[in-house]
Structure 1
Amino acid sequence: MTKKIVLAGGTGFVGKYLEEKFQNSGYEVILISRKEGHVSWNNQAGILEAIDNSEMLINLAGKSVNCRYNAKNKEEIFNSRTETTRILGDAILECENPPSLWINSSTATIYRHAEDRPMTEEGGDIGSGFSVDVAKAWEKSFFAFTLPETRKVALRMAIVLGKDGGVIPTYKNLVRFGLGGIQGSGNQKFSWIHIEDLYQIILFFREKKELSGVFNCSSPNPVTNRELMSHLRKALNTKIGLPSPKWMLEMGAILINTETELILKSRWVIPERLEKAGYKFKYSSLDEALRQIFTK
């Protein structure tokens, strides 16, 4: 029998990478999404059929936060995470042969703005504001389910870096147009993870059956925004990088329909539980990650 994995909301940058990786490893990968050709979120019977007899369920669903936080977008961001998680949990409860592992996305944004010390799973301070409220509700929806046969892992993911999407094209354009200087004070921390490490961490959880609960999914070596932009200029062989003060970013965010929180919030997150469990990062330093990303 072909091994089966279900990717919920797996149509973006991360989902496409995971889909290809698992298919190359011999898995049948079934996607649940709003796109034609996939199992629809409105198809309860189809979702149950997809999840039943699967080895693993990975939920990446959620409207992009790269938008203005008006009332309509806030509601969609919130519901696209909590409702999809509820739908999946309800389906698992009905499965005759439920998956042994359910990995649900969460976000490193759940922690407060931190420039004084790193945030770990045990010692980190939960923040406040809209993004944090979404993250807390997301995890609450996930852990509300009691599933005796299904182990649950919530990944508090940092910014995912890789060749073919995510934030890299945006940063690349900034640097190439001479705007690769610091953003805001430049002191805010940038926590990140290479997309290949994200995939390897999922495999790690598949094998380490004693692990469950909340895990920070980030490189052990976050950098400041100042260091990030310096590394990017070096990787792209660009010497000039004009700074972008906060007021300029605020104006630009309105023009391009996004929020400055994505750039200015200091996310200082350390993967303490992963490292204690024995996971070894393939790309632990930003230099290594960027070298792989920008090598043709």
Structure 2
Amino acid sequence: MAGLSVGSVGYNCYDELNINGRKMKIIIAGGTGFLGKVLQKYFTEKGDEVWILTRTPKKINEIYWDATNTGSWISTLEGAEVVINLTGKSVDCRYNANNKKIILESRVKSTEALQKAIGLCENPPKIWLNASSATIYIHAETQLMDEENGIIGDDFSMNICKSWEKVFFADTSLPVRKIALRTTIVLGNKGGAFPKMKTITRLGLGGKQGNGKQWVSWIHEQDFCRAVAFIIAHEQLTGKINVCAPNPVRNEDFMKYLRKSLGVPVGINSPVTLLECASVFIGTETELLLKSRNVYPKRLLDTGFRFEFPEITQAFAELN
């Protein structure tokens, strides 16, 4: 069962953030990747002051941190309204022992460093949003996974997310509102998985992956930014929140609509055996394509959030 259809309405959640014209100071840790750049652009265009914590600072608004230890970067947190932590090694790799260690440590250590830094601030941030992932839920072909009833299992990816969230919520003494963003695939043209999907589709390889019955949960990059802004604006939202569109689609339908939006008439299917061979060659894991993510943003919808792109066809039409 897919999510319930939710229409778009003329609602600007960002207006609630700018009462009396006050702008925010926002810190994005690990903000040089795709999602960090998307959020930086969104909030900067709204007039907010955005600072990036990164290992490789190159711009005037980028501050060095090693994502492990406290340091002079702590002063950047003083007086900030919001901290967003997106730090973590990409899971688009082979799950060998070394990569597994780095994937876990990059998430846990950066979260621990921010936890300590916020505790040392005289004027700490009011809101802390920490990345998590909808892969915390089990492979689900029938049951819809919301924050209340979603089933969390026991494998490498799920245990990474559990460890990540456990560290994030461990210290309850900090005077900061904490939100774990259980985000699905974010669709955008300048990063993430979507440009690769478009490329293989244009090459004629855009058929279903595996049996094509696995659910794909997704969100348009603009709705991702709007959801983050909405969460910041609504003080009653704390804890774990699914950040995804309300209508997941089957993999075979996802690829069919993508082909149609790109004007590609056919796409060669990719059976599991072919995907397993290809994943070794290109250095990734088949889980990224074959796990059924059937996720629903119940808490966002219950609080009044409305999506600009609730349907995958709308998202593809805007992005293509």
The TM-score, its normalising length taken from structure 1, stands at: 0.96
State the 1:162 CA deviation.
Answer: 1.1
Alignment of 1:156-175 (within 5 A): 156-175=182-201
CA distance in structure 2 between the aligned counterparts of 1:281 and 1:22, rounded to whole angstroms = 18
Q: Secondary structure at the match of 2:72?
A: helix
2:282 is equivalent to residue 261 of structure 1: no
Partner residue in 2 for 1:278:
304
Partner residue in 1 for 2:153:
127
Partner residue in 2 for 1:68:
94
2:231 is equivalent to residue 210 of structure 1: no
State the 1:255 CA deviation.
Answer: 0.4
CA distance in structure 2 between the aligned counterparts of 1:173 and 1:252, rounded to whole angstroms = 16
Point out 4+ residue stretches in structure 1 off by more than 3 angstroms: none
CA distance in structure 1 between the aligned counterparts of 2:301 and 2:47, rounded to whole angstroms = 28
Change (3 A) 1:273 1:171: same
Q: Which 5+ residue runs of structure 2 have no aligned equivalent? A: 1-21
CA distance in structure 2 between the aligned counterparts of 1:95 and 1:220, rounded to whole angstroms = 38
Partner residue in 1 for 2:56:
35
Q: Secondary structure at the match of 1:6?
A: strand
Partner residue in 1 for 2:4:
none
CA distance in structure 1 between the aligned counterparts of 2:215 and 2:274, rounded to whole angstroms = 20
Q: Which 5+ residue runs of structure 1 have no aligned equivalent? A: none
Q: Aligned to 1:248, which of 274, 293, 300?
A: 274
CA distance in structure 2 between the aligned counterparts of 1:2 and 1:160, rounded to whole angstroms = 26
Per-residue deviation, residues 102-151 of structure 1 (Å, max 9, x unmatched): 00110000000000111111111102210111000000010012245210
Moved more, 36-45 or 213-222: 36-45
CA distance in structure 1 between the aligned counterparts of 2:233 and 2:147, rounded to whole angstroms = 21
State the 1:2 CA deviation.
Answer: 7.0
Tell me which of the two structures has the higher relative contact order, counting C-alpha pairs closer than 8 angstroms and 6 or more residues apart.
Answer: 2
Q: Secondary structure at the match of 1:45?
A: coil
2:222 is equivalent to residue 196 of structure 1: yes
Partner residue in 1 for 2:164:
138
Change (3 A) 1:93 1:158: same
Q: Secondary structure at the match of 1:62?
A: coil
CA distance in structure 1 between the aligned counterparts of 2:151 and 2:42, rounded to whole angstroms = 34
Per-residue deviation, residues 22-60 of structure 1 (Å, max 9, x unmatched): 122222211112113432126623231111110100010
Partner residue in 1 for 2:16:
none
Moved more, 47-56 or 75-84: 47-56
CA distance in structure 1 between the aligned counterparts of 2:267 and 2:143, rounded to whole angstroms = 28
CA distance in structure 2 between the aligned counterparts of 1:230 and 1:10, rounded to whole angstroms = 33
State the 1:4 CA deviation.
Answer: 1.5
2:33 is equivalent to residue 12 of structure 1: yes
Name the amino acid aligned to 1:40. W
CA distance in structure 2 between the aligned counterparts of 1:15 and 1:184, rounded to whole angstroms = 31
Per-residue deviation, residues 186-215 of structure 1 (Å, max 9, x unmatched): 000000011111111111112111110101
Q: CA RMSD in A?
A: 1.3
Moved more, 200-209 or 100-109: 200-209
Partner residue in 1 for 2:75:
49
2:260 is equivalent to residue 239 of structure 1: no
CA distance in structure 2 between the aligned counterparts of 1:228 and 1:174, rounded to whole angstroms = 14
Instruction: Verify the 8 A CA contact 2:216 2:250 in the aligned structure 1.
Output: yes
Moved more, 141-150 or 11-20: 141-150
State the 1:73 CA deviation.
Answer: 0.4
Per-residue deviation, residues 142-177 of structure 1 (Å, max 9, x unmatched): 001224521001110000001211111111111111
Identity of aligned residues (%): 45
